[in-house]
Amino acid sequence: MQTSTPLGGGFDTPATQAAMAFRALMEAMARPGHIETVTGATPPAPLSPAAGAALLTLCDAETPLYLAGPCDTPALRDWLAFHVGAPLVGPADCAFAVGTWADLQPLTDYSIGTASYPDRSATLIVELDDLGADGAVLRGPGIKDTAALSLPEKAAFQANTAQFPLGLDFIFTSGQRLAALPRSTEVL
């Protein structure tokens, strides 16, 4: 159920649920292709509970956020203002962006960091209709041999990895499920 008021839909027990969501996000980032389940957030449509939990956990008043396409709604703006206070910016200035794969294009609009500060890149939270441990084959840090993840395409992620240590990081969400693809992961 989606919330209809900016006051609702946040974590009921913020410290505990944010810690659990943060742990799930870190596990997903450390183990690319591994799917985690997060609960506790019920953001306004069209945002999924997993994307809402990620934003509640990762954003605050000093975290520039870009809402792409249909995610840029008055209800979602109000919800974020109340729960995290993140300043809303354009793609070039964001630390995090959220939207569907198509709405987040082109990837060249986002910061990939600099040689001196590769950590100043954007992380894109990509809303998917379905998220599964199948499809593209992944290899790299945090993966024993290979893993699989249902990515919206391969070429963009292959090009992103080729820029390492620069590049974008990705969190994929669907319903209450999330997975991550750091820039160090090779997509075969």
**What pLDDT score does 7 carry?**
79
List, for residues 143-163, the tens digit of each pLDDT value: 999 999 999 999 999 999 999
> What's the pLDDT at 79?
97
CATH 3.90.1150.30 describes domain 14-187: no
* pLDDT of res. 4: 52
Residue 2 pLDDT exceeds 80? no
pLDDT tens string 82-136: 999 999 999 999 999 999 999 999 999 999 999 999 999 999 999 999 999 999 9
pLDDT number for residue 3: 46
Cβ proximity of 71 and 103 under 8 Å: yes
Q: What gap in Å lies between CA 47 and CA 175, rounded to an integer?
A: 9
Spell out where 44-154 has E strands.
65-67, 96-100, 123-127, 136-139, 147-149
| Residue 80 Cα distances to 52, 64, 73, 83, 159, angstroms | 9, 12, 11, 5, 32
Average pLDDT over residues 23-39: 97
Q: Give pLDDT, residue 1.
A: 42
Q: How far apart are CA 104 and CA 109, in angstroms?
A: 9
Predicted pLDDT at 6: 67
Share of the chain above pLDDT 70, in %: 97
pLDDT tens column, 36-62: 999 999 999 999 999 999 999 999 999
* pLDDT score at 5: 63
Mean pLDDT for the chain?
96
